[in-house]
Amino acid sequence: MSAPTLRPPSGPAVSSRTAPALLRPSGLTWTVLRLHRAALLMWIAALLVAAGVLTWMYVIGPDAVAALAPCGSPPAGALPDCTVLDAISTDETYSTWIRLVSTAVSYLMFPVAAWAGAALVGRELEDGTAQLAWTQSVSPVRWLAAKLAVPAAVLTLGTTLAVLLDVWARRDGNPSLVGDWYDPEVYASTGPVAVAYVLAGLAFGVLAALLLGKALPAAGAAFAATLVLSYGLRAVRPSLWPTTTITGRAALDLPRSALELEHGVVTSDGRRIGNDLACVGSGTSARSRACGRSSGLSDFWATYHPKSHFWPLQLVESGLLLAVAGAAAAAAFTLLRRRTA
């Protein structure tokens, strides 16, 4: 009896050499990640450092709050020993590191804009590698879509994670430790505007690179444009949502959580005078009223944003930033089509 003959299965043969190649990532997404793997690794490392620092801040948060509490020297009753709290100084450590991470997240848009203008697009246009890719199977529009979409996804995911960790590490948001909600760095690092600013910086960088075609000038132009956008929106931020105005003695004693914009007095004939400090600091309500009568004033008023306006302001500003980012991206696609038509 003859031994059975083993036959390979029908169909195209798959060699051991080609099998691993089929499992390798391919396509424009992988190409973008591979070309900019150094930036990707730096981004991951920065996120890991930020996550480690913020986790540490979350752990020492209760000790930082305790360090702010009243103390006695020597300790008396339930008051802790001041010398022990001063030696620990956990509150200073907590505040310092929280603010360092918040500042880094707040100004992340600037290095992103410069990197997008210089390395992501500008260098490829300057070296001619982009034009080479367009002569292959990749169209200019697909090339630009990948250049925008892949970094946008990575930056959105990472920035969102950093913002969530920042909010988590702040615990109850004690302003004596972490700053007030309206402080520029606190505001920009604890809400969706952080992601929107990063995406705007990315779009500005890509547009600047397509306009200038040179890496370094594009990086500088994108940085400058992002700087103007940041300070412009910071200047108009209080007007992005209707303010609250109150009158009476309460206008002189706004809570710390209120972002005061303007205050003043109401004269006996009903006129409002802004930023008038008359009778401020008179002491009791009776003394304030007496001072008002003698000065020809009938009331006090103040215009401010309460803490409850944090989310409306965040959402409106994020919407404006995303609209600007979308306009810059659309302009980049239009410019690319005209130049490659």
pTM (whole model) above 0.75: yes
User: How many C-beta neighbours within 10 Å does residue 5 have?
Assistant: 5
Cα separation, 130 vs 144, in Å, equals 10
Report CA-CA distances (Å) from 17 to 14, 22, 23, 24, 314: 8, 10, 11, 12, 54
What average pLDDT score do residues 113-135 get? 89
Q: Band of the pLDDT at 300, cuts 50, 70, 90? A: confident
pLDDT tier, 280 (very low <50, low <70, confident <90, very high otherwise): low
pLDDT at 145: 93
Please give the average per-residue pLDDT across 212-233, as a whole number. Answer: 95
Question: What percent of the chain clears pLDDT 90, i.e. is strictly above it?
Answer: 56
* The pLDDT value given to residue 203: 97
Task: Look at residue 139 and tell me whether its pLDDT is greater than 50.
Answer: yes
- In DSSP terms, which residues pair with 72 in a beta bridge? 81
Residue 14 clears pLDDT 80, i.e. is over it: no
